[in-house]
Structure 1
Amino acid sequence: MADDDHTPISAQQARQLFADWRDAQAVVLAVSGGPDSLALMWLAARWRKALRRGPQILVITVDHGLRPEAAREARDVKRHAAELGLPHRTLRWRGDKPTTGLPAAARDARYQLLARAARAAGASHILTAHTQDDQAETLLMRMSRGSGIAGLAAMARQTERHGVIIARPLLEVSKARLVATLAKAGLDFVSDPSNVDPRYARPRWRSLIAAFAEEGLDARNLARLSARLARANAALDVVTDGAERFLALRDHDPARPGFEASAFAALPAEVQVRLLLRTIDRVGHEGPAELGKVETLVAEIDRAAAENAKSPSKIALKRTLAGALITLGRDRLRIEPAPPRRGSRR
């Protein structure tokens, strides 16, 4: 949306934001009571009311049991939902909480609870209130961790998780616009103090974006970069699919694991990395391979192939990674399940 960042979202714009889910049987709205999710609920209710036929909407609030105010905030969401004619449920994260990695654990627990409730209600989608600001923060956080192109594409508009689709209709909308929308509607909201708690990574990055914006690196430009990287990532996936089919066609014996070494060597480096990564993940038995380790392995394969061209040997390189055995021979790069480690049980 090209409007000014502080412009309330109109009814027409709300229809555009939620149009993808018009034909769903039912959807769940994840609403905490903060400005983003409260705006999501208000806009979704307005959108649904304008439709002759559309999905059933169920509002769900997850009380993580981490703050005494959370129960009251859930009741406030229930009251707002009732005013909008929407059914509401509060789910609670019970049991012991971890002393480290709390935000990630809470997030995973939240999605599991939401997904279970969505499936029980016959809902195919969970709509969350992730915004353009959240996308910018996610990009910066992943940059700091050394993510590749796929990671820097950040959050997609829709992703599958726990058997349901997580949908993010507000991903191109700034938080400022949502706050302006609530102000126009006369709705009060709560602010979770953990959102500004410097003990957690995301609030620290959030505080830095204001400084970055002084140099033009604002949330809108960061989110635009993320969208461009998502587009590039999708294109590279298509190229990698084609490369995989091409290598398979060159094989006279498709049952042999791996690829023709010379054909693999002729591929662009990024396609080599992606192809090796997906193949290791497919045949390995120790979980997904780390991107950095696969990049190192590709460089080792390139060096070993160059040395093998000068002085041929039966096995130029042998490595194990993520439960896969990678062997470079005279004319073939083999990728197959690695033997079990000594003392391990499978």
Structure 2
Amino acid sequence: MTAPPPIDALLASDALDELFASLSRADRIIAAVSGGPDSIALMHLLARWNPVSHRPPVTVVTIDHALRPEAAGEAAFVAGEASSLGWPHRTMIWTGEKPVTGLQEAAREARYRLLVQCAREEGASHLVTAHTRDDQAETVLMRMARGSGLTGLAGMRRERDREGIRHVRPLLDCPKEALLSLCASQGWPYVSDPSNADERFARVRWRKVMPVLAAEGLTAGRLARLARRVAQAEEALDAKAQQALGDAEPELGPGGFSFQAGILVREPFEIALRVLALALAKAGLDLESLRLHRLESCAVKLRAATGDGDALQVTIAGALVRLDRSGRLVIRPEPPRRRGR
């Protein structure tokens, strides 16, 4: 197992500059802090990097999911810690009915929705969260178990866009062990969330499996390295797909987005999949909930019909996909369905 970096290395000014380099040009930073050791360490490291007046202002935000009575007290604790650093704090509460199943997934969606909302209200351009190398390893394992494709196996991205807000995970290469040691050595208090030990949640069950896998050589570090390498392959494949779509006479008009479907046959299947996904996105479709097997099935049908010179019409992800006999593929949002009595 790879040893965690020395504590002094995490506190060094050059290390902090490297960790937070992408935040230098932020208008304002939203730091998501739950009160656990990872996010408390992130907040204090960010404060060490950001004592200079010309660096971006920071607002600390805690999400109260309204699932535990202790959550309000934990948010108040974070508010006090933020105040000691001279930073404002906000608590955002997840209101409304909570689902019986898929609670963690729903809580995650609500959390990011509230963080993006807060960023907009505060005039922030960047959001930082304290995801660690261990979180990345658990994510890769969970996605492997669900039969994910390459995109899923690339794990969490170090940076991504969330509705115009730049989401940055500066600690993604840092082991949780190092952050726990840092909190202990610096006397940074934190709270413990009992749901992190609740085996009703899949992530907790995978966390308990990790030591067994590590004993066989499948460590968090190696899983995170796999995710980085898959992400590099993803970047190359996406670039190739962009080029392929550009060569297919794409056109965006009132009737939708269209291109010559022959590209789906000429390119390897993986590139054809990505071309189809790009085309769906350019037609204005939301692909967040699109299952990979549905995209694969659609691509298989389109490739077969294109190769045979047949016309075809299918629906996918709220889109109407129409292939004519000339080989032109048109994608547009599916019209509202009429309901009879």
TM superposition score normalised by structure 1: 0.86
SS of residue matched to 2:50: helix
- Match status 1:335 vs 2:334: no
Are 1:31 and 1:61, in contact at CA under 8 Å, matched by a contact in 2?
A: yes
- Match status 1:324 vs 2:320: yes
State the match for 2:269 in structure 1. Answer: 269
Equivalent position amino acid for 2:43 in 1: M
Equivalent position amino acid for 1:278 in 2: L
- Match status 1:220 vs 2:215: no
State the match for 2:43 in structure 1. Answer: 41
Larger Rg: 1
Cα distance, 1:289–1:180 mapped onto 2, change above 3 Å? closer
Equivalent position amino acid for 1:7 in 2: P
Structure 2 Cα separation of the partners of residues 243 and 341 of structure 1 = 32
- Identity percentage of aligned residues: 42
Cα-to-partner distance string for 1:112-160 (whole Å, 9 max, x where unaligned): 2222222222211111101111111111111222222122212111222
State the match for 2:20 in structure 1. Answer: 18
SS of residue matched to 2:294: helix
State the match for 2:130 in structure 1. Answer: 129
Structure 2 Cα separation of the partners of residues 5 and 286 of structure 1 = 39
The worse-fitting range, judged by mean Cα deviation, of 51-60 and 202-211 is 51-60
State the match for 2:151 in structure 1. Answer: 150
State the match for 2:310 in structure 1. Answer: 315
Equivalent position amino acid for 2:197 in 1: V
Structure 1 Cα separation of the partners of residues 173 and 33 of structure 2 = 18
The worse-fitting range, judged by mean Cα deviation, of 179-188 and 286-295 is 286-295
State the match for 2:278 in structure 1. Answer: 278
Cα-to-partner distance string for 1:254-305 (whole Å, 9 max, x where unaligned): x997544544322111111111222244448796643212222333444456
Per the TM alignment, residue 90 of structure 1 is displaced from its structure 2 partner at its CA by 2.2
The worse-fitting range, judged by mean Cα deviation, of 110-119 and 282-291 is 282-291
State the match for 1:106 in structure 2. Answer: 107
Gaps of 5+ in 2: none
Q: How many residues align?
A: 332
The worse-fitting range, judged by mean Cα deviation, of 133-142 and 79-88 is 79-88
Cα-to-partner distance string for 1:170-212 (whole Å, 9 max, x where unaligned): 1111101111111110122211111121111111111111111
Cα distance, 1:315–1:31 mapped onto 2, change above 3 Å? same
Equivalent position amino acid for 1:172 in 2: D
Structure 2 Cα separation of the partners of residues 191 and 35 of structure 1 = 8
State the match for 1:190 in structure 2. Answer: 191
Matches within 5 A, 1:63-102: 63-102=64-103
Structure 1 Cα separation of the partners of residues 286 and 221 of structure 2 = 39
Are 2:32 and 2:129, in contact at CA under 8 Å, matched by a contact in 1?
A: yes
Per the TM alignment, residue 6 of structure 1 is displaced from its structure 2 partner at its CA by 6.0
Equivalent position amino acid for 1:265 in 2: V
CA RMSD of aligned residues (A): 2.8
Structure 2 Cα separation of the partners of residues 77 and 285 of structure 1 = 39
Gaps of 5+ in 1: 309-313
TM superposition score normalised by structure 2: 0.87
Cα distance, 1:70–1:337 mapped onto 2, change above 3 Å? closer
The worse-fitting range, judged by mean Cα deviation, of 29-38 and 93-102 is 93-102
The worse-fitting range, judged by mean Cα deviation, of 294-303 and 83-92 is 294-303
- Match status 1:296 vs 2:280: no
SS of residue matched to 1:90: strand
SS of residue matched to 1:240: helix
State the match for 1:209 in structure 2. Answer: 210
Structure 1 Cα separation of the partners of residues 56 and 101 of structure 2 = 39
Per the TM alignment, residue 87 of structure 1 is displaced from its structure 2 partner at its CA by 2.2
Cα distance, 1:218–1:234 mapped onto 2, change above 3 Å? same
Per the TM alignment, residue 41 of structure 1 is displaced from its structure 2 partner at its CA by 0.6
Are 1:60 and 1:88, in contact at CA under 8 Å, matched by a contact in 2?
A: yes
Equivalent position amino acid for 1:174 in 2: P
Per the TM alignment, residue 169 of structure 1 is displaced from its structure 2 partner at its CA by 0.8
Are 2:34 and 2:62, in contact at CA under 8 Å, matched by a contact in 1?
A: yes
Are 1:284 and 1:336, in contact at CA under 8 Å, matched by a contact in 2?
A: no
Cα distance, 1:305–1:106 mapped onto 2, change above 3 Å? closer
Equivalent position amino acid for 2:316 in 1: L
Are 2:26 and 2:56, in contact at CA under 8 Å, matched by a contact in 1?
A: yes
Structure 1 Cα separation of the partners of residues 337 and 278 of structure 2 = 26
State the match for 1:311 in structure 2. Answer: none
Are 1:280 and 1:324, in contact at CA under 8 Å, matched by a contact in 2?
A: no
Structure 2 Cα separation of the partners of residues 279 and 36 of structure 1 = 39
Cα distance, 1:284–1:293 mapped onto 2, change above 3 Å? farther
State the match for 2:6 in structure 1. Answer: 7
Structure 1 Cα separation of the partners of residues 259 and 59 of structure 2 = 50
Structure 2 Cα separation of the partners of residues 116 and 10 of structure 1 = 31
Equivalent position amino acid for 2:24 in 1: R
Cα distance, 1:112–1:259 mapped onto 2, change above 3 Å? closer
- Match status 1:165 vs 2:166: yes
